[in-house]
């Protein structure tokens, strides 16, 4: 197989692979089967729990049997909490977190803040929690609060909001939210004051409820996952699509002593994080109105008469970054680099260090490209040298093809002898392409998954390196550099191949219209450097031959 055919095969195969991967990733998120999952988890007894009202989870869609959301038309008071990084809305009806704006993340419109949690008609995304047993308050119980709002004071590291309710038996329950300065981590605690004559036992549940809607500002063609996720040391990260939740599938670890549960979306994650070593039940539920939940259920400590006990849970809602592993193991996997993680992760680490030096992500990408080009210079030079030699001997190859046009065997033998005489590896020119493809795919995943590049400006009109170039200047430059590279390569003898090689830059240019500007920037810089390298090598060999 000659070089042109192999090149076309590689380009076509890579294009098909990338398109198929994007489609498959978007349509069929990976779900790893958990050991023993087929046996399921026995339904949790509800004796003594608050009655399950209409609107509860559909039958068979969750082992934990958490109550639904119907509250007989009741409404609560909103308590607004503001820190240096979040603006939260807590509803006294259930004490649920029903709104969360990230003050450090830009929304769709310039000057707005990104809303991670919200409660709109068709965009419901809330963090709910409650207690089960002995008439304890669940996530639609009525609470009271002495404050209408709270703000993190200057010089303080935390701000708290207390919600209180009393059961029919006179048990006092206090639900406390604690927000921290410079952190998206929120502490949610329940304190039970047993004023009765009998011990109190039960469970606490913490869940995320979300409708299946597209995240704000997400591009249509991006192959990113949105949906529930369960992490455990046993099976690592397991994604459970909304459609699987609807079908009642439970192919994930349900009983565990570690890990977290949450919902992933592009750039962001919301997750409940129990204490390490605490036994818990992970569950998913399909609710009414095409809404779904994923959550965790833990046992309450037994509260003896006249005693007080507290159960605590951490809730993270913010950008997905690898540093989240410091909160709990595996939470950093919310940054999904895909199959190329072993290359993408260190590549982004280097790019992050370069950004700390130059202060611009676009410049960091350019410097990373230069570093990769220098690192791979010997290999790429060998490939370009092989291509240059093929260009130099092209007239001799053409004469051989004409001389032995009717004898393919003698034609092939004569070409092999010419390659041997000229010390040419006919497939050596494929080396640059073979090396560039893994790097290209790795950088694609790094740019696509890293929230640091979200709305990161470069120069002029490029104000978001994670989105396509709005003026399509970079894709046009990419097409131009590809066209120039094809002219530096040996011309295919087959007219059909020649036409394909001429149209390939246009086809790829159109495809790059939908790629993040940061990735196209890398491709333009890399192609430009390759052109210079290839031109120098070709001219030097032509001079030697002359």
Q: Parse the chain into domains and list their residue ranges.
A: 3-21+344-545, 31-36+58-216+224-336
433 CB-near residues (< 8 Å, 6+ apart) = 7, 10, 11, 383
| Closest to 298 measured CA to CA, from 208, 202, 204 | 204
SS3 content of the chain, % helix, strand, coil (to 5): 40, 25, 35
Answer yes or no: are the C-beta atoms of 94 and 311 closer than 8 Å: no
Give the H/E segment covering residue 237. strand 236-239
457 CB-near residues (< 8 Å, 6+ apart) = 360, 362, 463, 464, 465
- Look at the alpha carbons of 427, 372, 509, 531 in this order and tell me if their dihedral is positive or negative: negative
Q: Which residue has the tokens 């530096």?
A: 488
Answer yes or no: are the C-beta atoms of 280 and 298 closer than 8 Å: yes
Give the H/E segment covering residue 178. strand 172-180
Q: Give tens-digit pLDDT for 311-338.
A: 999 999 999 999 999 999 999 999 988 8
- Look at the alpha carbons of 127, 132, 136, 138 in this order and tell me if their dihedral is positive or negative: positive
pLDDT-based confidence at residue 3 (cuts at 50, 70, 90): very low
Distance CA 495, CA 501 (A): 10
> Residue 36 pLDDT more than 70?
no
Q: State residue 157's pLDDT score.
A: 97
414 CB-near residues (< 8 Å, 6+ apart) = 400, 403, 404
Distance CA 437, CA 26 (A): 21
Distance CA 208, CA 374 (A): 48
185-193 and 172-180: which strand pairing?
antiparallel
149-151 and 78-82: which strand pairing?
parallel
Q: Does domain 31-36+58-216+224-336 have CATH number 2.70.98.90?
A: yes
Distance CA 237, CA 263 (A): 12
How distant is the alpha carbon of residue 399 from its chain centre? 54
Can you read off the two tokens belonging to residue 89? Answer: 């809305």
- Most confident among 18-22, 26-30, 60-64, 278-282 (mean pLDDT): 278-282
- Which residues, listed in sequence order, are joined to residue 90 by a DSSP beta bridge? 79, 97
Higher pLDDT, 351 or 514: 351
| Closest to 185 measured CA to CA, from 193, 196, 177 | 177
Query: DSSP label at 200?
Result: B
Query: DSSP label at 271?
Result: E
Distance CA 123, CA 101 (A): 14
> Residue 48 pLDDT more than 60?
no
pLDDT-based confidence at residue 509 (cuts at 50, 70, 90): confident
| Closest to 44 measured CA to CA, from 202, 222, 173 | 202
- Which residues, listed in sequence order, are joined to residue 162 by a DSSP beta bridge? 176
pLDDT-based confidence at residue 142 (cuts at 50, 70, 90): very high
What does 128-150 look like in DSSP terms, one character per residue?
Answer: EEEEESTT---TT-B-B-S-SEE
pLDDT, mean over the chain? 83
Q: State residue 63's pLDDT score.
A: 42
Mean pLDDT of 233-253: 94
255-256 and 280-286: which strand pairing?
antiparallel
Distance CA 146, CA 219 (A): 43
Q: Please tell me the pTM assigned to this model.
A: 0.82
């Amino acid at each position: 197989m000659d070089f042109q055919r192999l090149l076309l095969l590689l380009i076509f195969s890579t294009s098909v692979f990338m398109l198929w991967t994007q489609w498959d990733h978007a349509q069929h998120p990976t779900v790893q089967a958990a050991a023993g999952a087929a046996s399921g988890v026995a339904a949790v007894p509800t004796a003594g729990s608050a009655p399950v009202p209409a609107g509860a989870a559909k039958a068979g869609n969750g082992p934990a049997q958490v109550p639904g959301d119907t509250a007989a038309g009741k409404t609560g008071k909103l308590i607004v909490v503001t820190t240096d990084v979040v603006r939260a809305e807590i509803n006294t009806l259930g004490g649920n977190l029903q709104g969360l704006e990230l003050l450090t993340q830009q929304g769709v419109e310039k000057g707005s803040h990104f809303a991670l949690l919200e409660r709109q008609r068709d965009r419901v995304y809330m963090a709910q929690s409650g207690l089960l047993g002995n008439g304890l308050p669940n996530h639609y119980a009525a609470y009271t609060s002495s404050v209408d709002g709270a703000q993190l004071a200057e010089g303080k590291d935390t701000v708290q909001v207390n919600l209180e309710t009393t059961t029919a038996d006179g048990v006092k329950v206090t639900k406390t939210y604690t927000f921290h300065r410079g952190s998206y981590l929120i502490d949610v605690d329940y304190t039970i004051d047993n004023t009765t004559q009998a011990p109190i036992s039960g469970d606490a549940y913490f869940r995320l409820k979300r409708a299946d809607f597209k995240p704000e500002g997400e591009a249509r063609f991006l192959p990113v996952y949105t949906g529930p996720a369960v992490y455990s040391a046993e099976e690592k990260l397991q994604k459970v699509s909304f459609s699987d939740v609807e079908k009642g599938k439970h192919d994930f670890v349900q009983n565990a002593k570690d890990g977290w549960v949450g919902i992933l979306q592009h750039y962001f994650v919301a997750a409940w994080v129990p204490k390490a070593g605490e036994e818990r039940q992970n569950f998913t539920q399909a609710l009414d109105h095409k809404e779904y939940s994923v959550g965790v259920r833990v046992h309450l400590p037994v509260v003896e008469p006249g005693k007080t006990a507290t159960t605590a849970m951490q809730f993270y809602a913010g950008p997905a970054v690898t540093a989240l592993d410091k909160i709990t193991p595996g939470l950093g996997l919310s940054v999904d680099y895909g199959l190329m993680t072993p290359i993408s992760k260190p590549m982004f680490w280097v790019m992050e260090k370069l950004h700390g030096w130059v202060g611009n992500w676009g410049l960091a990408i350019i410097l990373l490209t230069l570093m990769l080009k220098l690192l791979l210079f010997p290999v790429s030079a060998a490939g370009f040298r092989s291509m240059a030699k093929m260009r130099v001997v092209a007239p001799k190859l053409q004469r051989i093809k004409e001389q032995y046009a009717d004898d393919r065997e003698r034609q092939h033998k004569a070409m092999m002898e010419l390659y041997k005489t000229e010390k040419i590896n006919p497939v050596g020119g494929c080396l640059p392409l073979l090396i560039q493809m893994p790097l290209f795919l790795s950088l694609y995943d790094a740019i696509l998954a890293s929230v640091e590049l979200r709305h990161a400006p470069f120069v002029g009109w490029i104000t978001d390196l994670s989105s396509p170039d709005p003026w399509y200047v970079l894709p046009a430059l990419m097409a131009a550099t590809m066209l120039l590279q094809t002219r530096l390569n040996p011309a295919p003898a087959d007219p059909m191949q020649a036409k394909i090689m001429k149209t390939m830059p246009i086809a790829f240019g159109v495809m790059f219209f939908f790629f993040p500007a940061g990735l196209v920037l890398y491709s333009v810089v890399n192609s430009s450097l390759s052109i210079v390298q290839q031109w120098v090598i070709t001219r030097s060999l032509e001079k030697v031959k002359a």
